[in-house]
Amino acid sequence: MNLSEAKDRLAHYGQEHLLRFFDTISQTEQHELLTEIAGIDFPTLERLIHEWVLNEPAPEKFDRIEPVPVIPPVEPNRADAREALDAGESALRAGRVGCMVVAGGQGTRLGFDGPKGSYPVGPITKNTLFQYHAEKIVGLNRRYGCRIPWYVMVSNTNADATQEFFRANNHFGLRASDITFFQQKMMPCVDDSGKLILEERGRLAMNPNGHGGSILALVDEGIVQDARKRGVDTLSYFQVDNWAVKVADPYFIGYHVSRGSEMSSKVHRKRAVRESVGVHCLCDGQYRVIEYSELDLYPQLLETTSSGAPVHFAGNPAIHILSVEFIERVYREFATFPWHRAHKKIPYINEQGQLIKPEKPNGYKFETFIFDALRLCKSAPVSLEIREIGEYTPIKQFDGDNSVMSARRLQRDHWADWFDAAGSPVPRNRDGEVIIDLEVSPAFALTKDEFVARARDKKWKTEGPLAIFADGTTASLLPLH
Ligand code: UTP
């Protein structure tokens, strides 16, 4: 796009101020700014400004909100679970399953200098989230004799750093040709009056377009085509910050494929109605996830049973399976996909060219969420309940709820159970809390049964911190903190 085309387009949408400093920036910056302007989806943006910024949208109204039907947590001896395992394992062995991780977010709350996936989450090994997820795939490949392709979604904010991180770590033992990076699009932020924002004289304030943007990127960047070429028709979706997530869980895949689901979700049981997770429910018969920030709009979602438990208990841990065909259909229908707004403090360049860091929210960022695809399913989505321990440890910040520290505690308890079962009991304090750090490489064992079987000829000293590597060797480096 050249300057005069940019002027025309901006004038059409009332955003001419973006070129205010054009004459004062370098040629490279001019080129980059024009490229950013050319990439903006102005019709969508105009609609969002109209609906979300210049007007206060009325919340959707529903006559009926009902709990979603949920498959109870897997019990290996239950007949339906045995059948699901069979179906899931067959799909994995046949090479029908791929994995996708969304890792394009900005990770602002964690405040870590680098892609969130490169956060050294292991308390002893300092192994990163990416390494942990990669080792899960190594474990699955070994168990099922397959080569699961791994699709890694990045964004403009971390694409280069992420790819370099994988290269520097030799792709964590996976074949480079089985890992494909794909980039989601960015969405411009707007101020409270609907004007686009310059964060530098020649750069727009933008954010990645949300994990729902994966639907667009999977098709635009050729991922679904690659999947089809490899014979993959089912994708296991997870988020990079869930350390414990079971990647391509055979039970979950089995329920998904055998019930003809297009998109399936794991759900976890909320303990309190105000727990800060989205809720899976049926709104006038349509599958929805209502964000926790919207709970007050729908009082039914605050109802409790006589024992005080939430009636709508199906919390959203953001673990899904999507069929490739479904992704292609949602892509075609993406114009109907809902957007969400967040009021944020967005630094900006004022008319005098100075950088201002606002103290209160001054503008909006727009995002799409993958769970909104559930409402487009033609067949009933499968919802499988999980027990949080060993499956759900999202890392949003360093300490507190959903943090590095809480995740380490949960993982420690999870693995302590494995060590106990393998005949290497773990020391606990009087309250029963595990008092040493523990880590187990998923490439050594993916499940407790696998761990016990592989540990048969091993006796570990569990008086101090203990990490088990992929090959069964150990380290005991750091004290508990
Ligand atoms: P979050 O919404 O928790 O965002 O993303 P975040 O980037 O990790 O952290 P904050 O909110 O800035 O502190 C949940 C998951 O979705 C991915 C993230 O990388 C994370 O795995 N995500 C989020 C994307 O891939 N793209 C996005 O545009 C947004």
Q: Is 412 in the pocket of ligand 1 (CB under 6 A)?
A: no
- State residue 389's pLDDT score: 84
Give CA–CA dist 416/411, Å, rounded: 8
Tens digits of residue pLDDT in 70-119: 999 999 999 999 999 999 999 999 999 999 999 999 999 999 999 999 99
Consecutive H or E run containing 239? strand 234-239
Report pTM. Answer: 0.96
pLDDT over threshold 90, residue 460: no
For 269, the 3-state DSSP assignment is strand
Question: Which of 171, 182, 162 is CA-nearest to residue 118?
Answer: 162
Residue 417's CB is within 10 A of a number of other CB atoms, namely 15
pLDDT higher at 191 or 456: 191
What is the pLDDT at residue 481?
A: 41
- Mutating to test ligand 1, I would choose from 151, 187, 211, 395 the residue with most ligand atoms within 8 A of its C-beta, which is 211
| Per-residue model confidence (pLDDT) at position 153 | 98
Structure tokens at 291: 């964000």
pLDDT band for 59, please (50, 70, 90 cuts).
Answer: confident
The share of the chain scoring above pLDDT 70, in percent, equals: 99
Q: At 272, is the pLDDT very low, low, confident or very high (cuts 50, 70, 90)? A: very high
Q: Which of 100, 101, 106, 396 to mutate to test the pocket of ligand 1 (most atoms within 8 A of CB)?
A: 106
Question: What residue's CA is closest to ligand 1, atom 9?
Answer: 107
Ligand 1 center–CA 365 separation, angstroms: 13
Give residue 459's pLDDT band: very low, low, confident or very high (50, 70, 90): confident
- Cα angle, residue 138 at apex, residues 133 and 144 outer, rounded to 5°: 125
Query: pLDDT tens digits, residue range 285-336?
Result: 999 999 988 998 998 999 999 999 999 999 999 999 999 999 999 999 999 9
| Per-residue pLDDT reduced to its tens digit, 230-252 | 999 999 999 999 999 999 999 99
Query: For position 353, what pLDDT does the model report?
Result: 94
37 pLDDT exceeds 80?
Answer: yes
Residue 477's pLDDT is what? 56
Element (H, E) at 129: helix 129-144
Which secondary-structure segment (H or E) carries 444?
none
Write phi, then psi, for 97 (nearest 5 degrees): -115, 130
Kindly state if the Cβ of 369 falls inside 6 Å of ligand 1: no
pLDDT digits (tens, 9 = 90+) for 423-444: 999 999 999 999 999 999 999 9
Provide the pLDDT for residue 456.
Answer: 85
**Per-chain mean pLDDT for the chain:** 95
Reduced to 3 states, what is the DSSP secondary structure of residue 466? strand
Structure tokens at 151: 């699709």
| Index of the ligand 1 atom closest to the CA of residue 110 | 13
Ligand 1 contact via 239 beta carbon (within 6 Å): yes
Q: Give me the helices (H) in 49-119, please.
A: 79-93
Please give the number of the atom of ligand 1 that sits closest to the Cα of 208: 28
Query: How far does residue 132's CA lie from ligand 1's centre (Å)?
Result: 18
Q: Atom 28 of ligand 1 has which residue's CA nearest to it?
A: 210
Question: Which residue, judged by its Cα, is nearest atom 3 of ligand 1?
Answer: 396
How far is ligand 1, taken at its centre, from the CA of residue 454, in Å? 36
On the question of pLDDT at 373 being above 60, the answer is yes
Q: Go through the chain and tell me how many residues it has.
A: 481
The whole-number pLDDT of residue 121 equals 97
Q: Is the CB of 241 under 6 A from ligand 1?
A: yes
Which of 113, 155, 241, 401 has the most ligand 1 atoms within 8 A of CB, as the residue to mutate?
Answer: 241
Residue minimizing CA distance to atom 27 of ligand 1: 210
For the chain, the helix, strand and coil percentages under 3-state DSSP, each to the nearest 5? 35, 20, 45
Is residue 117 lining ligand 1, measured as CB closer than 6 Å? Answer: no
In tens, the pLDDT along 214-232 reads 999 999 999 999 999 999 9
pLDDT in the model for residue 75: 95
| Nearest atom (ligand 1) to Cα of 242 | 21
Instruction: Enumerate residues 6+ apart whose C-beta is below 8 A from 195.
Output: 14, 15, 17
Ligand 1 centre from 104 Cα, in Å? 6
